[in-house]
């Protein structure tokens, strides 16, 4: 799970991972979805057990993910995951909370609203976009179970779209694709490394500063023309995913 660092210089890094339990204290009705982060990495990547992927996104208030963010997520996953039955993404509203949210509260909301669960040959992932805040002001989102992600939409809006900074779509995509990378087992979190590249001091992240799975995301560069920058997975991360059943 993920954390933010504020730096006053040319680069402003806002996002990284926070340390927390891999499992939520709130039990879901589906036993498959109550596992630790990375436990479904191979299932997400390969077609051995599950040939299709269903992603349920629920958002609060005005924080619906941009259609371009959805397109970016679809392209990202289709380039990595072997799902011949297809990848479907739905997005629907839920009641707003405007609350300070810790892991337990997020998990309770998921239990209340989530309706998509793994069944048959279709694996389901749940993403909640809240209008509340994490207990730490430095959190934009986190993965907290094998198929669960939370994004703090209000904070993402507040930290994007300014002069010299990332666009909203870019920051949404950065955070969402990074967190999905953890569900896919990166780095060394359910998907074994082919070549050592784990930034151990920062947990399950990549040592490559230009990789999507680096521990921090730059949200403000002070440089023109790169407001739409979205980092990619580097060759080491891609090799790991391929070896664990990905494309």
Q: Which residue has the higher pLDDT, 16 or 244?
A: 244
- pLDDT band (50, 70, 90) for residue 11: very low
- pLDDT band (50, 70, 90) for residue 12: very low
Torsion of CA 92, 95, 98, 102, to 10 degrees: -80
**DSSP assignment letter at 93:** E
Kindly report the number of other CB atoms within 10 A of residue 56's CB atom.
Answer: 20
Q: At what angle do helices 168-183 and 67-78 cross, to 10 degrees?
A: 30
- pLDDT band (50, 70, 90) for residue 195: very high
Q: Domain map of the chain by residue range?
A: 12-243
Regarding beta strands 86-94 and 52-60, do their DSSP bridges make them parallel or antiparallel, or are they unpaired? parallel
H helix runs in the chain, sequence order: 41-45, 67-78, 103-113, 153-158, 168-183, 235-243
Section 177-200 average pLDDT: 97
- CATH number for the 12-243 domain, one of 1.10.260.40, 3.30.1370.60, 3.40.390.10, 1.10.3720.10? 3.40.390.10
Q: Which residue has the higher pLDDT, 132 or 70?
A: 70
With b meaning 16 or more CB within 10 Å and e meaning fewer, what string describes 15-53?
bbbbeeebbbebebeeebbbbebbbbbbbbbbeeebbbb
How high is the mean pLDDT of the chain? 87
The pair of structure tokens assigned to 46 is 């390969």
> Which class for 103: exposed (0-12), middle (13-18), buried (19 or more C-beta within 10 A)?
buried
Whether the predicted pLDDT of 124 surpasses 80? yes
The phi-psi region of residue 245 (left if phi > 0; otherwise alpha if psi is between -120 and 50; otherwise beta) is left
- pLDDT band (50, 70, 90) for residue 218: low
pLDDT of res. 101: 87
- pLDDT band (50, 70, 90) for residue 3: very low
H helix runs in 79-165, sequence order: 103-113, 153-158
Strand partners, 152: 130
Q: Are 39 and 33 in contact (CB under 8 A)?
A: no
Nearest to 180 by CA among 88, 81, 110, 32: 81
pTM of the model: 0.90
């Amino acid at each position: 799970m993920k954390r933010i660092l504020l730096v006053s210089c040319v680069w402003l890094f806002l996002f990284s991972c926070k340390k927390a339990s891999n499992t939520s204290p709130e039990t879901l009705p589906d036993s498959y979805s109550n596992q630790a982060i990375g436990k479904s990495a191979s299932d997400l990547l390969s077609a051995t057990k599950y040939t299709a992927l269903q992603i349920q996104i629920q958002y609060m208030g005005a924080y619906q993910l941009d259609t371009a963010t959805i397109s970016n997520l679809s392209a990202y996953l289709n380039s990595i995951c072997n799902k011949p039955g297809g990848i479907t993404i739905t997005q629907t509203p839920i009641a707003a909370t405007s609350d300070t949210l810790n892991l337990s509260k997020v998990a309770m909301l998921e239990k209340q609203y989530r309706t998509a669960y793994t069944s048959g040959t279709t694996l389901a992932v749940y993403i909640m976009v809240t209008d509340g805040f994490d207990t730490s002001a430095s959190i934009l989102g986190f993965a907290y179970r094998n198929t669960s992600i939370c994004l703090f939409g209000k904070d993402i809006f507040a930290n994007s779209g300014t002069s010299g900074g990332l666009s909203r779509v870019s920051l949404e995509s950065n955070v969402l694709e990074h967190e999905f990378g953890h569900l896919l087992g990166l780095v060394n979190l359910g998907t074994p490394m082919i070549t050592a590249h784990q930034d151990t001091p920062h947990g399950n992240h990549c040592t490559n500063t230009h990789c999507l799975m680096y521990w921090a995301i730059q949200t403000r560069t002070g440089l023109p023309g790169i407001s739409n920058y979205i980092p990619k997975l580097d060759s080491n991360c891609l090799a790991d995913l391929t070896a664990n059943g990905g494309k």
